[in-house]
Amino acid sequence: MESPPELPQATPREPILTLPGALTAYVLLLAVIHLRVLLPPDLEYWTIEVFGFIPKRYDSTLLAIAFPGGAGAKVWTFVSYSLLHANLSHIAFNVLWLLPFGSALARRFGAVRFFVFMAVTAAAGALAHLVTHEHAIAPMIGASASVSGAMAAAIRFAFVQGSFLSFSRGDADAAARVPALSLMRSFRNPRVLGFLAVWFGVNIIFGIGSIAIGADGASVAWQAHIGGFFAGLVLFSLFDPVPRSAGHAADASSRDASDRG
């Protein structure tokens, strides 16, 4: 008697929101650095002055103030500010926004590209804040410029058929490695335009994530968000290791829409 043929076993699909190692390491780094809040208040604020981004630090007039950190802080604070947060809810806002977009981006870029990208978008956010708050003394802290950059980069491929925000997606790795849209095609994609409209509206009206800490309390540094977002959107192609096929990315999102009838 012949035994029935064995059916092929379905390959288990990895959950779309499992965290890649690079993003896990980034979130853990934020959490470990936040332990500075356990320091005595004077020392804790000293860390913000040394590692937070202070526009007044770059003032060359006679009214310039000598801040802790010296000349070195003029360099490292373009990035180090993004690793500091005011409280747990501040971290939570940034991490929650980062989970879907940062996961896809970390899988696509790999660890080294991902960390460099986060640093570059943090610096772009700091530059935007410096331009718009030239003589401000309040330190800016928070990862939201980098988070905004990650969101902007991710939407270059997020809505393509098979990606993590499309209606027919594969597993997490496959969804993160679909060919991306070019920058010009991104600006002609209705879903991307809709996302941009919502994102800019939310940030301008409410602001999310980066905080400037001054005598009058914390205020949202939304210009830094826009700087990071713009850098992530424009610089994505410099970091992207996935080849862009000629016809696939161009038409994928429209095919995805037609698949839904």
Q: DSSP of 173-196, one letter per residue?
A: HHHHTSPPPPHHHHTT-HHHHHHH
Question: Which DSSP letter does residue 53 get?
Answer: B
The candidate with the shortest Cα–Cα distance to 39, out of 25, 49, 29, is: 49
- Could you give the percent of the chain with pLDDT greater than 70? 76
Looking up tokens 């060359």 gives 60
Q: What is the pTM of this model?
A: 0.80
Residue 175 has pLDDT above 80, yes or no: no
Report the alpha-carbon distance of residue 212 to residue 236 in Å, rounded: 27
Across the beta sheet with 211-214, what order do the strands follow? 140-141, 211-214, 217-220
Kindly report, residue by residue over 212-245, the tens digit of the pLDDT: 554 444 556 788 999 999 999 999 999 999 887 6
Report the alpha-carbon distance of residue 89 to residue 190 in Å, rounded: 33
Q: Of 59-73, 117-131, 173-187, 246-260, where does mean pLDDT reach its minimum?
A: 246-260
Higher pLDDT, 6 or 261: 6
Residue 249 has pLDDT above 50, yes or no: no
Kindly report, residue by residue over 75-93, the tens digit of the pLDDT: 999 999 999 998 888 899 8
The pLDDT confidence band at residue 64, using thresholds 50, 70 and 90, is: low
Residue 94 has pLDDT above 60, yes or no: yes
Strand-pairing partners, residue 141, are 211
CA distances 256 to 95, 156, 169, Å, are 29, 15, 10
Residue 122 has pLDDT above 90, yes or no: yes
Phi-psi region of 110 (alpha: psi -120 to 50; beta: other; left: phi over 0): left
Residue 67, pLDDT score: 82
Over residues 142-152, the mean pLDDT reads 93
CA distances 142 to 12, 130, 203, Å, are 37, 15, 15
CA distances 236 to 88, 173, 215, Å, are 30, 18, 37
Pair 147, 228: CB distance under 8 Å: yes
Residue 149 has pLDDT above 80, yes or no: yes
Report the alpha-carbon distance of residue 199 to residue 195 in Å, rounded: 6
Residue 176, pLDDT score: 79
Averaged confidence pLDDT in the chain = 81
Residue 120, pLDDT score: 97
Residue 261 has pLDDT above 80, yes or no: no
Strand-pairing partners, residue 162, are 169
Residue 252 has pLDDT above 70, yes or no: no
Q: Which helix (H) or strand (E) holds 219?
A: strand 217-220
Pair 30, 83: CB distance under 8 Å: yes
Report the alpha-carbon distance of residue 251 to residue 188 in Å, rounded: 12
Over residues 21-38, the mean pLDDT reads 94
Residue 210, pLDDT score: 52
Please give the radius of gyration of the chain, using alpha carbons only, rounded to the nearest integer.
21
The pLDDT confidence band at residue 246, using thresholds 50, 70 and 90, is: low
Angle between helices 144-154 and 190-205 (to 10 degrees): 170
Higher pLDDT, 147 or 5: 147
Q: Which residues contact 52 (CB under 8 A, 6 or more apart)?
A: 77, 80, 81, 84, 139, 140, 141, 213
